[in-house]
Chain A
C-alpha cells in the first residue's frame, strides 16, 4: 500500500498539443465523426482528436506524471492504470469518463483504456486474461448454454448440463479464486489524487484501500481472496463523484473447486451473469473534464445515460448495427437458455447423471449512483443473497431498514447504490401462458428486463427504451416443437 515511483515506468510530460486538444464539450456525435472515416462504432473514437475543436482548453491542468508506456509486468500482479478519455454513449455522443484500465492511455486516445478486460487471479498465483470462467470449460455459443437433452416427462423442457458451461464476463471484472492472493498495482495517470478501494473485502466487512495515490504515483494493494461473492472496487474520492465518472469495477470471488455455485454450499447454476449498473451525469463529467471539482451537494447528480455492463438501449439489447457489440451483449448480458423444470427447494438436484435442475445465476452489482429496480418479465427470480450474506431459507426476519431477509421470489430486484444481489433466474415455463400457447411454441420467447425507476429508461432525456435494459430469452429447439 505504498505510493512511489518506479524505474519501470517511463513518465512523460504532457505535450502542448495534448492539453490544447482537450475538448470542452463532451458531446460529439457520430455522424460528425463519420466524416473522418471511422466506419464502426469501435472505430469512431479514432477520429476524435481531429473532430474535437481545439477550443480554449489551454490552461486545464493535466497530469504531469502521465505514463506513456506500460510498466514492466510483475508475475502475479495485475496492473491497473487510472486513465481518462471519451466514451461513446448510445446516442453516439462522446462523454468524458475515467476508469481503471489495462494500459496507460492519454485523454485523446482513440481507444482509451477505461476498463480492464476480465482477469483471473488463480489459486496458483497467476494472473490470466480471460473473458470466460472457469478456464477450460466449454464456451456457450453466443452466450447460450445448450441443454443435455429433452426432458421426456415435461414437454418443451430440457435437462441442463451440470458443471459444464463457462460464463462470459464483462469488462471491469476481476475474478479471484478462493485461496488466491490479489496483488494490484495501481498507477495514477491523472492530474488529481485518486485511490482504489475494495468495499467490504477485509475481515469484518471493512474496506481495503491503496490510500491516496498522487498524480503520477503508484500504489500496491495486496490481500487474500475474501469470501465468495461480489465486491466493488472503486475510487472513493469525493464520493460518489469519482465512482460516477467510471472509476469502478467488480471483483468476483469463486471457489475453483466448485465454480458452478453462487458460493460454497449455495445454489448451483448452469452459467452465471455479472451485471454492473452505472449512471452517467454529463454535467459532472464536463466539470471534471475541465479540471473542476464536482460538489455533489450543490450540484446534485442528474444522470443522462444509464448503463448495464457499459451498454444501454438498443446496444444493450443487441439491436445495433455493430455486430461485434451485439455479440458482446449476447455473451455478457442477455440471459438465455432452454426451459427446464425446477424446484426452488433444491436448485442443485441431480436428476440424471451430469444434469442439473437449476437455473442461471444473475449477480447484480450497482457501483453507480442511482437506486435501480430490476424488473424481469416472464419469470420471477429467486433471490439468495445480498452483499455476500446468504439469506436463510426459513425463519427469516425484517431488518431494521425494512428489508426482508429470507430467500424469496421477486419480479423486481431492489438494487440501491453499492448493493449487490445474487439471484437465480429459473428459466422455467412462463407460468401464466396457456397450455395451448406453450405447447405450440415455435420460436424463442424473449422477455424484457428493465429498471422500473423509469427515468433510467431514457437516453439523453428521451428515446425510450434507451437506458438500463436487457432481454432474457427462453430458447426453443430449432426444429419445430
Chain B
C-alpha cells in the first residue's frame, strides 16, 4: 500500500530550532526537482523547547493530504525518534545524531507522562533504562534503516573553516537533517543549493554557511555509503508548468488583496495572525499597469498604487467594530481571528447584521472549547458561526476546502458581503491555514468583483432634487436597500443597534419592527436564490458509487486523495463538499442525497454538519466518521474508515484517533 502514498518525510525537533525553516528548504528542493508537495506543521503552544514536527509528502502527481507514516525521519534530537520511531513505513530510514544514542527516555522532560508510560510499556523497560539505541535497534528489527550522522563533526569542520563559533552554528542542525535526507534520496546537490538561496533570499552569509554545511552532510552520507543502502531516490522530473506552494493563511491574504480589501484588523491569535502579518508586509499594493493607465486618464487623483491599512487592535471587539467602521466608510474591510477571538466578536457581528454592514471575518478554527488546543486542528465552530449572536440576523457562512478555494472564496466573501449587505464568515481551520500545497495556478479574474448597489453623490443629488430623502433601510422587494458610504455628499443616514425605521432612527413600532425584521431576513432568501449551486457545494459524482462522502472544509484534501486511492482499487465513491453553510443549501443537498448511502466526515465531536443536514433536509447519514484529537484527518486512517463503511463493517460512528 505504501507505494500509493508517494514519499513521506518527517523532520522533528525542539520548537525554536529551525524545524519550519528546514522543512521549507526541503520542500523547495523537492518542488524544484519537479514533485508535487503537501506539508503539514504540528507544534505546541510554546516558543522554545517543546516537540514540533513538520511532515512533508511528495509525489509525481498532485497530492493534498498526509499519511501518519514516513519513508524518512530526519532527526537531530532524541525526542523526535522516541516519539515517531513506530510510524516508519517498511524499509524507511531514520537519520539521527550519532552522539545521542545513550539518551534515555527519562531524560526528556517534554514527553508527556502519558506518552512516556506508553513508550516505556511498549518496550517493556523503565524510562531510565530505555535509551535511543534500544529504540533504534527495535526499529531496525522491523526493517527500518537507522543512519547515524555525526552532526558535531560537520559543525566543527564548518566552525574551523569559517571562524564561526560552534554554539552559533548549532542552529544549522536543521540543514544537516535536510541535506542528509536529500543525499539519501540521491537528489542532485545543486537543487538543494538553489533551494537554500531561495529560502534565505539576500542573506548571503547564511546562504554560504548553509551550503557548506549541506555539502559536508552530503559527503558524509555518500562516503558512508548510506545512499546505496536506501532504496528510494528522487530523480529530477521534467516540469514545464508554473507552480506555486502556498498555505491557507497566504491564500486568504492574497485573496483579500485581490478582492480589494483595504482595511484589515486583528488581535494576535493562533492560527489566524499569519494572514494579517502577511497583509501588513504587503501593505503597499500595486495595481495592474494596464488598468492604472486607464484609470489615470479618467481620474487624475488615483495613482497607480493602493494600500491596505492593517490595524493591530486592543482586542477582538475592537477588531470587528473597527473593521465595521471602515466598511461603513466604503472600504472593503475585514478581520481575522480564531474561535476564542470570534467569541469576543459576537456583539460586533450582531451590530453589523442589524445595520446591514458588509464586513468579512476569517475564522480559523482550532481545538476548542475555551483556549482548547491553540495550535491544533478542529472544525468545532460550525454551529457557533451560524448561530453566533443574540436575536436573529442574516449572515453568510462559507468554508473553502483547500488553498485554491481559499483564494477564490475570499473574493466571493467580499462580494456576498457587499451584494447582500451583511457580515460574512469565511471559515478555515488550522489544518488548512498551516498546511502548504503545490498549486498550478491562480486565475485572478475567475471571480469578478461585485460591490452591490451603491448610490453615489450625483444619484443622491437627483434624489434630493426630486424632493426625496435617502433612506438607508428602505423597504424593497428583495430586502436589499441601496447603500451609501458615510461621507458621500447629498446624503446622511443613521445607524443604530436598536430596531430602526427606514432612515435608521430608533423605533419600537410593532409594524415597522415586523417589516424591518422581514426585510433583513429576506436577504438570505435572495442570496439563496441568486448564488449558483457550484458556489454552494462541490459535487464529485461517480458512475457507480459504493458510498457518498459528505464533508466540509479542509477534509477535502484527504478525501480527494482517498477517492484516487480507491479508484486504483476499482472502488468508486461520490463526494459532496458543502461550501456555503448559511444560508444552508437544503434543496440542493436533498436532491443529491435522497436515497443514497452516505457517510459524514468531520473534524469535530458532534458531527455538526450532519446535524445541519438533518435539521434542514430530514436526512441522516448511514455512517459518521469524526475526529477531535486536534490532529487533522490523515489519508491512511480515512482509507481504513471509509473502506469499512463500504464493506458495511463499520459501526455507525467511527472516531479517528491518529496523529502525534
Query: Do A and B share a complex?
Result: no
- B-side residues, CB < 8 A to A, are none
- A-side residues, CB < 8 A to B, are none
